[in-house]
Amino acid sequence: MRVHRKLVPQKIPLLIYVKAPSHYVLIICVKRADKPHPYQSKVKEEQMFCYQCEQTAKGEGCTRIGACGKQEDVAALQDLLIHIVKELSRIAAEGRTVNVTDAQINRFTCKAIFSTLTNVDFDPGRFVELIGEAVAKRDELRARVSAAGGSLPHADGMIRIPPGATQEELITKGESVGLKSDSSVDPDILSLRELLIYGIKGVAAYADHAAILGREDEEVYAFIHSAMAATLDSHLTVDKYLNLVLECGRINLKTMELLDAANTGTYGHPVPTVVPLGVKKGKAILVSGHDLKDLEEVLRQSEGKGIYVYTHGEMLPCHGYPALKKYSHFYGHYGTAWQNQAREFDAFPGAILMTTNCIQKPRDSYSDRIFTTGLVGWPGVTHIGDGDFAPVIQKALELPGFPEDREEKTVTVGFAGNAVLSVADAIIEAVKSGTIRHFFLVGGCDGAKPGRDYYTKFVEQAPRDSVILTLACGKFRFFDKDLGEIGGIPRLIDIGQCNDAYSAVKIAAALAEAFDCTVNDLPLSVILSWYEQKACAILLTLLYLGVENIRLGPSLPAFVSPNVLNVLVEKFGILPIDTPENDLEAILG
In this structure, what CATH number is given to the domain that contains residue 256? 1.20.1270.20
Q: What is the pLDDT of residue 4?
A: 37
Determine, yes or no, domain membership for 2. Answer: no
- DSSP letter at 363 equals P
In a shared domain, residues 210 and 96: yes
Residues of the chain with pLDDT under 50: 1-44
Q: What is the pLDDT of residue 8?
A: 38
8 Å CB contact between 241 and 189? yes
Three-point CA angle 244, 88, 157, nearest 5°: 100
In a shared domain, residues 250 and 277: no
Strands (E), 207-292: 273-276, 283-288
In a shared domain, residues 94 and 168: yes
**Rounded Cα distance, 97 and 104, in Å:** 18
Our count of domains for the chain comes to 3
Of 243, 265, 287, which residue sits at a domain end?
265
In a shared domain, residues 157 and 237: yes
Measured in degrees and rounded to the nearest 5, phi and psi for residue 307 equal -120, 130
Contacts of residue 512, defined as CB under 8 A and 6 or more positions apart, other chains included, come to 518, 519, 521, 522
Determine, yes or no, domain membership for 406. Answer: no
Determine, yes or no, domain membership for 348. Answer: yes
pLDDT tens-place string over residues 72-85: 999 999 999 999 99
In a shared domain, residues 181 and 286: no
In a shared domain, residues 278 and 260: no
Query: Quick one: angle between helices 238-267 and 187-212, nearest 10?
Result: 20
Determine, yes or no, domain membership for 59. Answer: no
Distances (CA, A) of 57 to 48, 67, 193, 341: 12, 6, 21, 21
Q: Taking the C-alpha atoms of 496, 499, 503 and 505 in order, what is their torsion angle to the nearest 10 degrees?
A: 130
Structural domain for 347, as ranges:
273-398
User: 26-53 burial, b for 16+ CB within 10 Å, e for fewer?
Assistant: eeeeeeeeeeebbbeeeeeeeebbbbbb
Q: What is the pLDDT of residue 45?
A: 56
Q: Which of 364, 295, 357, 316 is nearest to 480 (CA)?
A: 316
Of 265, 299, 321, which residue sits at a domain end?
265
pLDDT tens-place string over residues 277-296: 999 999 999 999 999 999 99
Determine, yes or no, domain membership for 39. Answer: no
Determine, yes or no, domain membership for 523. Answer: yes
In a shared domain, residues 564 and 535: yes
In a shared domain, residues 234 and 288: no
Question: Residue type for 100, please?
Answer: V
Determine, yes or no, domain membership for 226. Answer: yes
In a shared domain, residues 353 and 472: no
Distance of CA 85 to the CA centre of its chain: 20
Q: Which of 337, 352, 286, 359 is nearest to 117 (CA)?
A: 359
Q: Which of 71, 87, 171, 199 is nearest to 123 (CA)?
A: 71
In a shared domain, residues 258 and 291: no
Q: Which of 442, 419, 427, 409 is nearest to 320 (CA)?
A: 419
Determine, yes or no, domain membership for 404. Answer: no
Q: What is the CATH number of the domain that holds 369?
A: 3.40.50.2030
Per the DSSP assignment, residues forming a β-bridge with 4 are 17
Of 209, 236, 265, which residue sits at a domain end?
265
Question: Residue type for 531, please?
Answer: Y
In a shared domain, residues 483 and 561: yes
In a shared domain, residues 145 and 293: no
